[in-house]
Amino acid sequence: MSNMAASVSNLDQDMAELRKAKYDDKSAAEAKAWISGILGRDLGDGDLMETLKDGTVLCELVNIVDPSANLKFKQSRMPFVQMENISMFLRASANLGLPQYDLFQTVDLYEGKDPAQVLQTLFSFSRHANKRNPSIPQLGPKLVEKRASPGKFAREGEGIPAWNTRQYGYMGGANQSSEKIVFAKRRDVVFKPE
């Protein structure tokens, strides 16, 4: 018998490793430089997640991008105050137009559960901030705007139905027998030797 023991880990550990593997230091440095540029001050040499952990930097960012938000945040060492600051940022981001799937959860930042999701939120925030104020630079790819392609889909009220029969592949009630399509021989339930 060998003395080799099985390597065992739990699901939480595996998921934490997967999330940390998605975190990109280059993107984090890019996001930190972007935030520094918007705020007009240096954020220091520390880790981005530690810099953002108390939520004050995020609230300052919102107040610059969207002055109408006017977030009243507090600088404190108390965890619930810091988590409230982060929550205010997330609510303001949703009001700015960030989709729910781009927003991180408060614990993703505060407890470091999913730093990659925090980066995704920052990149999406930059795109929406740029949409609101084009003088603000953006991170990553441009924000795509939804628009209907002309001529393909009709609208109700224009005298044309809202759907098109060709669009959905309608064939006028065609089936295998009416189109004389035979895929196989007819089957008999009782076996007849040939």
Tens of pLDDT, residues 61-104: 999 998 888 889 989 999 999 999 999 999 999 999 899 999 99
**pLDDT exceeds 70 at position 160:** no
What does the alpha-carbon distance between residue 137 and residue 128 come to, in Å, rounded to a whole number?
10
What is the pLDDT at residue 119?
A: 92
Torsion, Cα 141 18 108 68, to 10 degrees, reads: 10
- Measure the CA–CA gap between 122 and 175, rounded to whole angstroms: 53
Closest CA to 116 of 102, 98, 99: 102
As a CATH number, domain 14-132 is: 1.10.418.10
pLDDT at 167 over 60: no
Q: What is the pLDDT of residues 111-151, one digit of tens each?
A: 888 888 999 999 999 999 998 888 888 988 787 777 665 55
pLDDT of 24: 77
Cα separation, 65 vs 75, in Å, equals: 20
21 band by pLDDT with thresholds 50, 70 and 90: confident
Q: What pLDDT score was predicted for residue 86?
A: 94
Q: How much is the mean pLDDT over the chain?
A: 80
Task: Give the DSSP H/E element, type plus range, for residue 168.
Answer: none
Q: Dump pLDDT digits (tens) for 38-61.
A: 999 998 888 888 999 999 999 999
List the chain domain ranges: 14-132
